[in-house]
Amino acid sequence: MAERKEMTALQKAKEKSEYYESLENKYQKRYAEAEGEAIRTGQTIEQTKDNAKRQKLQVKFEKWSKITTARHKPYSRYRKAHKEAEKEYMRLQKRKNDLDAIAEKVKQHNAQFSVDPSSQYNEGHAAIYPSDGSQGPIFISPSDTESEDMTANITSWPVDNGAPRADYARVSGKTVTVGGILAGHDRAEANEKYKKLRSWMSNHIQLTYKGDIYYKHLMISGLQQSFSDLRDNLKVSITFTFVYWAEVTTSTGKNSKKKTSKSSKRTQGHRNRRYAAITVKRGQTLWGLSKRYGTSVKWLQKVNHIKNPNKIDAGEHLYVPGSARSSRKKIRVR
């Protein structure tokens, strides 16, 4: 049997595991070097009797102890990341191995069935199994029906001339209906197969159906059993519904807020206005500055967070409208 193509998810998981493994090894080496240096320095301190040398060695020991602690943090972080990535890779690898085993079993079963249809008590060639490979396949003989049905929602209202029809239509559903026989050595075995199908339906297991029709993303939406004169087998009808999957992305919201500069002040009625910083001189008042720079006392008070508008100190820095060039204008201030 030709080897199954490696899954993209498995490739990504393998690359991720190898990436974190390389980082873990890198920082483990750095951590081990620092730890070894700290241990050797500590041993030297114990063997040294000269106080002056001991003090120098103590400083060195404390230095390497801090370095050891600092280097342990990234090592621990990447070791944990590598362990999680390796766990995910092993999970996907196991799924691939399980699916490979199921594919091989289905191939051998159908090869034997094509040679001798009476083999395996005529189970049939169509296989149903969980898409993650967690359980083995159930074979069914679709002797009554094996059909596929698709429906689409298409608007009956007039649309703009020349507009793409794809904008006004979408596939609303896809179903696969299989009617046939569940075979067993006896009725008890056939009943066990039916119970497994019922369990997959009740637990909403994603299934693969591989017969003349082949789909991977199916769930059982209808399951019927009809009693007949068959001694060991069951007549069943199964309706599968195709499940559409979408990737869901989430945002932590950490970067949702815009960062604004502290110097970019805004006031009601004047957004993103430029300001100039001035130094208050002896004898200046907010009223005089408001006349000089064409604004109001209330505005200056709000922008500069002044509680008492009648008191400003010489040498204090204030924001005023416009650029610094406006301060050259000679206006008499009382």
31-47 pLDDT per residue, tens: 999 999 999 999 999 99
pLDDT at residue 265 in the model: 44
Its pTM stands at: 0.57
pLDDT at residue 15 in the model: 93
CATH of domain 275-328: 3.10.350.10
CATH architecture of 121-155+168-242: Beta Barrel (2.40)
pLDDT at residue 257 in the model: 53
Domains of the chain, by residue range, sit at 8-106, 121-155+168-242, 275-328
Q: pLDDT tens, position by position, for the chain (334 residues)?
A: 455 555 688 899 999 999 999 999 999 999 999 999 999 999 999 998 888 898 999 999 999 999 999 999 999 999 999 999 999 999 999 999 999 999 998 888 888 766 665 555 578 889 999 998 989 999 998 988 899 999 888 877 777 777 777 777 778 889 999 999 988 888 888 899 999 999 999 999 999 999 999 998 999 999 999 877 777 788 999 999 998 765 555 555 555 555 544 444 444 444 445 778 888 888 788 888 888 888 888 888 888 888 888 888 888 888 888 754 444 444 343 3
Topology alike, domains 121-155+168-242 and 275-328: no
Q: Secondary structure of the chain in the HEC alphabet? A: CCCCCCCHHHHHHHHHHHHHHHHHHHHHHHHHHHHHHHHHHHHHHHHCCCHHHHHHHHHHHHHHHHHHHHHHHHHHHHHHHHHHHHHHHHHHHHHHHHHHHHHHHHHHHHHHHHHCCCHHHHCCCEEEEECCCCCCCEEEEEEEEEEEEEEEEECCCCCCCCCCHHHHEEEEEEEEEEEEEECCCCHHHHHHHHHHHHHHHHCCCCEEEECCCEEEEEEEEEEEEECCCCCCCEEEEEEEEECCCCCCCCCCCCCCCCCCCCCCCCECCECCCCEEEEECCCCCCHHHHHHHCCCCHHHHHHHCCCCCCCCCCCCCEEEEECCHHHHHCCCCCC
pLDDT at residue 298 in the model: 87
